[in-house]
Amino acid sequence: MTAALWVAFVVIGAVTYLTRALPLLRDHPGKGARPPPAWMEALGPCILAAIAVAVLLPEARGALAQGSLRPFLLGAAAAGAAMRWRRDAGLATLAGVAAYWLAL
């Protein structure tokens, strides 16, 4: 491996460590920890929604261009329904794949 690759590994590792360690070091138990801001509760779902749109939109466009939008929509609906029902990502994935396969 080249030296540049090792430097990249070290930098990525240091940044990853710091992003996880600094929040723990910031709050000291004796000083009374502040609760997180209200916007932090919405941050996780917003990030997941953005990732879902970034992944699903190109797939939906491809399915529309190929004329196979029905299996795509049925798979997405089944995954969404399973996720709403049980809040289990594994079950939602299996339901989506099964619905897509059956719609083909």
- Distance between CA 65 and CA 55 in Å, rounded? 16
Task: Specify whether the CB–CB gap between 36 and 57 falls below 8 A.
Answer: no
Q: What is the separation of C-alpha 76 from the centre of its chain, rounded to a whole number of angstroms?
A: 16
- Distance between CA 76 and CA 82 in Å, rounded? 10
Tokens of 43: 């941050």
Tell me, what's the pLDDT at 24? 76
Tell me, what's the pLDDT at 26? 67
pLDDT digits (tens, 9 = 90+) for 62-89: 989 998 899 999 999 999 999 999 989 8
79 closest CA partner among 59, 8, 66, 67: 59
What parts of the chain have a pLDDT lower than 50?
A: none
**pTM of the full structure:** 0.55
